[in-house]
Chain A
Amino acid sequence: MRSRRLRGLPTAAPAFPDVMKALLFVAALLPLVRAGFVVITGQAVNPVEFVTHVTGTWALVGLMVTLAVSPLRWLTGRGWLLRLRRMLGLFAFFYACLHLLTYLWLDQFFDWTAIGHDILKRPFITLGMAAFVLLVPLAVTSTDAWMRRLKHSWGRLHRLVYPASVLAVVHYCWLVKRDLTVPLIYAGVLALLLGLRLLRRYRERTVC
């Protein structure tokens, strides 16, 4: 149903969503620019840890914002919001890639034995890696061509974003030493976003 709606989008789009898209594109790059500035000017005492945290945080924020598109659309009735979703999802994936690369390169220096050991032995690494693996097919099939090819299965496949987000949040909760405040805020936001979907489903069913 979702894909049908997508295919039905008018080709001559109004200017406003395009402007929003451009602004959002720039905004989504700002965390990366800022991180680069902080590292190059030597403001980060532990730059590798800083980059790991920044990229992880924005991958997570990206997922949350992507998941917020549909509920916002229902609540505001603004259909054009959907036109931003692919870019937001791809930005989440982009930051997740940087996050993984930071770990593989700057933390482990591509020591595959150590990395394999970490994935097997450290639950939070296992979960983070699983979340990333779930996101890969979503990024690959994000093009129009794949949408057409997969038809209804596209929507079903892209529900993988739900388990990926849950894994990502648990990955964060599991690695902090003591203070769970920030990861629990993410968990709360995710619960809200997923809860709204359940609520809508329940309502649709009762109306029918």
Chain B
Amino acid sequence: MLIKRPDDLPSSEITPEAVYLDRRRFLATGAVGLLLSADALAALSGRKSALSTGEAPNRLDEISRYNNFYEFGTSKDDPARHATALKTHPWTVTVEGEVEKPRIFDIDALLRRPLEERIYRLRCVEGWSMVIPWMGFPLATLLREVVPTSRAKYVAFETALRPAEMPGVGRKVLDWPYREGLRIDEAMHPLTLLAVGLYGNVLPKQNGAPIRLVVPWKYGFKSIKSIVRIRLVEKQPPTSWNLAAPSEYGFYSNVNPAVDHPRWSQASERRIGEFFKRKTLPFNGYAEQVAQLYRGMDLKKNF
């Protein structure tokens, strides 16, 4: 008879203490997860990352019921109601442009990659924030595989545009498809993540399934959802919110308490689940890792 000594147990089989102590809630969130991804019950696992914050994550029902995903409607609860119609399988991500090896990545292969759990703060430009346990891999690993050329100065991203599955795109609230962009050094930064999961499961559709960007030091709208195309380009690409209101949403959109939105203050934020507001930190608290990317730049001008 095999009696495992503690040393033989892989750490992945040990239930984390917090989960054990919180098992009722764990079961509850698991049940929500089942409802959210009934057609893709893939559980994901990933190793813990030193880049994670130690702050307590928001609950899955908070993260999945309060979303901005205008393709499914402009209310916070629209995406949870309407995103179920999005077919996230089959799905491919085309990576092209200024690269030596353009490729079309299949979502199944991307989901099989070694994943990390990254617990990041997310600060919305509207003045609220959450802490979210993403699962994914650095964007840099994917970009290195396609070998960017010396002309690749920026990376442009595009969300799927499917009028039949997206009730919100019938009206031109934004110039569809949703587009975002990063400078190449921002894209290659180790914090920049391509997320495919959340709380140990594939992403809920309203959170940008099957694959989305997460740039934790920028306002949430930079972290584009349900990506189908990534283009490496030489010139700064057009981005959706910047096209919609250039005076309100800049290309960089780094979280910055010193630069107010023209219509509201960015000095503080409401962390979902907390009663009192908290002060917003420069670069959403990631200044130590990313501030050097913007050395010498006037962040009031390049907001």
Q: How far is the CA of A174 from the CA of B262 in the complex (A)?
A: 11
* A46 and B128 contact, Cβ closer than 8 Å, known pairs A109-B277, A179-B173: yes
CA distance A155 to B286 in the complex (A): 59
Interface residues of B in 264-294 (CB under 8 A from A): 264-265, 270, 272, 276-277
Contact A178–B74 (Cβ < 8 Å): yes
| Contact for A46 among B61, B76, B171, CB less than 8 A | B76
State the CA gap A109–B278 with chains docked (Å). Answer: 12
Closest chain-A Cβ to B245's Cβ sits at a distance in Å of: 8
Does chain A have a CB within 8 A of B65? yes
Contacts of A107 in B (CB 8 A): 277
Min distance, Cβ A78 to any Cβ of chain B, angstroms: 37
Query: CA A118 – CA B266 in complex, angstroms?
Result: 12
Mask: chain B, 53-84; 1 = CB below 8 Å from A; 0 = not: 00000000110011000100010100000000
Q: Are B277 and A175 in contact (CB under 8 A)?
A: no
When the two chains form their complex, are residues A45 and B263 in contact, meaning their CB atoms are under 8 A apart?
no
B174 at the interface (CB under 8 A from A): yes
A window 3-38: CB within 8 A of B: none
Q: Which residues of chain B are within 8 angstroms of A48 by Cβ–Cβ distance?
A: 270
B27 interface residue (CB < 8 Å to A): no
CA distance A174 to B270 in the complex (A): 21
B24, chain A: closest CB distance, angstroms: 15
Interface residues of A in 106-155 (CB under 8 A from B): 107, 109, 114, 117-118, 122-124
What CA separation (Å) do A46 and B126 show in the bound complex? 12
Asked whether, in the complex, the Cβ of A122 is within 8 Å of the Cβ of B264, the reply is yes
| Residue from B65, B126, B244, B265 within 8 A of A45 (CB atoms) | B65
Once bound together, how far apart are the Cα atoms of A123 and B171, in whole Å?
A: 27
Asked if A178 contacts B244 (CB within 8 A), the reply is yes
Please, how many angstroms separate the alpha-carbon atoms of A122 and B265 in the complex? Answer: 9
Whether A205 sits at the interface, judged by CB under 8 Å, is no
Interface mask (B243-256 → A, CB under 8 Å = 1, otherwise 0): 01100000000000
Choice from A45, A114, A178 contacting B76 with Cβ under 8 Å: A45
Complex interface residues of chain B between 169 and 201 (CB less than 8 A to chain A): 171, 173-174
> Is B66 in contact with A123, judged by CB distance below 8 angstroms?
no
A46-B66 in contact (CB<8A): yes
Q: Find out whether the CB atom of A178 lies under 8 angstroms from the CB atom of B70.
A: yes
Could you tell me the distance between the alpha carbons of A181 and B73 in the complex, rounded to whole angstroms? 12
Interface bin, chain B? 20 to 34
Nearest-neighbour CB distance to chain A for B60, whole angstroms, equals 11
Chain A: how many interface residues by the 8 Å CB criterion?
Answer: 18
B126 surroundings in chain A (CB, below 8 A): 177
Check A179 against B74 for contact (C-beta < 8 Å): yes
A123 and B263 form a contact (CB under 8 A): yes
Known interface pairs A123-B263, A178-B173. Does A45 touch B62 (Cβ–Cβ under 8 Å)? yes
- Contact status of A45 and B66, CB under 8 A, knowing A122-B264, A123-B263, A178-B173: yes
Could you mark each residue 133-177 of chain B with 1 if its beta carbon is under 8 Å from any beta carbon of chain A, else 0?
000000000000000000000000000000000000001011000
Q: Are B174 and A178 in contact (CB under 8 A)?
A: yes
Distance of A88 Cα from B76 Cα, bound (Å): 30
Closest to A180 in B: B173
| A124 and B263 contacting across the interface, CB-CB below 8 Å | yes
- On chain B, the residues within 8 Å of A181 by CB distance are 171
What CA separation (Å) do A181 and B264 show in the bound complex?
Answer: 21
Q: Are A175 and B263 in contact (CB under 8 A)?
A: yes
Residues of A within 8 A of B276 (CB): 109
- Scoring A107, A122, A175, A177 by chain B CB atoms within 10 A of each residue's CB, the highest score goes to A177
Shortest Cβ distance from B125 into A: residue: A177
Beta-carbon nearest neighbor of A179 in chain B: B74
Q: In the bound complex, what is the Cα–Cα distance between A105 and B66 (angstroms)?
A: 23
Question: In the complex the two chains form, is A174's CB within 8 Å of B263's CB?
Answer: yes
Cβ contacts A73-111/B at 8 Å (1 or 0 each): 000000000000000000000000000000000010100
CB distance from A62 to the nearest CB of B (A): 22
> In the docked arrangement, what's the CA distance between A179 and B75, Å?
9
In the complex, the chain A residue whose C-beta lies closest to that of B273 is A45
Residues on the B chain within 8 Å of A109, using CB = 276-277
Closest to B221 in A: A177
Q: How far is the CA of A49 from the CA of B271 in the complex (A)?
A: 12
6 A-B pairs in the complex with CB atoms less than 8 angstroms apart = A45-B66, A46-B270, A122-B265, A178-B244, A178-B245, A179-B74
